[in-house]
């Protein structure tokens, strides 16, 4: 090997001491405050997850009712025998949404007004007054357009009504 001797290189760097490489920075929070904040965030996430799951479970009746109603929305004739069950479906959905004693005694105009109060977008007691009653006893009494409008109102009510736990 070559011996460069003491004169080789920059004489000012002779006594230069290199600094040590710093240790790796930890990703774990350094202070107690960060641990408290992390714990709070985790508790909030768990709480919102549990609430979302409960909301999902509470609205199962809506999903079931819409699943039952979906095949009827594409029917354009009044011959389907399941159409007479639509008012019963609406009443069962209303019972699942609120107090049974509140719903069970409602009939006729009072029933339609109660439905409208629970969903402001619906007009069962307005333009559609009496159509639920007619549908329960014979869907062939309704025209195709009346039937489609009524089924869309029922679908809208199931989707958007407000209940006791909303």
Q: Are 135 and 87 in contact (CB under 8 A)?
A: yes
Distance CA(38)–CA(32), nearest Å, equals 10
**Top-ranked range on mean pLDDT: pick from 49-53, 67-71, 158-162:** 49-53
| pLDDT band, residue 8 (cuts 50/70/90) | low
Model pLDDT, residue 52 = 95
The answer to whether the pTM exceeds 0.95 is no
Least confidently predicted of 3-7, 96-100, 127-131, 143-147: 3-7
Model pLDDT, residue 70 = 85
Distances (CA, A) of 55 to 19, 44, 50, 164: 59, 16, 9, 12
- pLDDT tens digit sequence for 77-123: 666 677 788 888 888 888 888 878 778 888 888 888 888 888 888 78
- Residue 2, pLDDT > 60, answer no
Model pLDDT, residue 9 = 66
Q: How far apart are the first and last CA of the chain?
A: 85
- pLDDT tens digit sequence for 140-165: 777 778 888 888 888 888 888 887 66
User: What are the boundaries of each domain within the chain?
Assistant: 60-160
Mean pLDDT of the chain: 81
Distances (CA, A) of 160 to 63, 73, 104: 12, 17, 21
Model pLDDT, residue 46 = 98
Q: Are 145 and 137 in contact (CB under 8 A)?
A: no
Model pLDDT, residue 85 = 83
- Residue 1, pLDDT > 60, answer no
């Amino acid at each position: 090997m070559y011996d460069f001797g003491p004169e080789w290189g920059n004489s000012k760097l002779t006594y230069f001491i290199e600094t040590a490489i710093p240790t790796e920075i930890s990703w774990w929070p350094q202070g107690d405050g960060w641990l408290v904040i992390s714990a709070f965030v985790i508790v909030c996430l768990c709480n919102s997850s549990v609430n979302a799951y409960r909301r999902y479970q509470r609205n199962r009746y809506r999903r079931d009712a819409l699943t039952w109603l979906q095949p009827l929305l594409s029917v354009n004739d009044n011959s389907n025998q399941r159409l007479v069950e639509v008012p019963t479906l609406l009443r069962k959905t209303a019972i699942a949404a609120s107090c049974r004693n509140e719903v069970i005694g409602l009939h006729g105009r009072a029933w339609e007004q109660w439905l409208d109060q629970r969903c402001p977008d619906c007009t069962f007691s307005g333009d559609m007054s009496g159509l639920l009653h007619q549908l329960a006893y014979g869907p062939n009494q309704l025209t195709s357009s009346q039937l489609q409008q009524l089924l869309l109102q029922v679908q809208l009510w199931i989707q958007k009504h407000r209940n006791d736990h909303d």
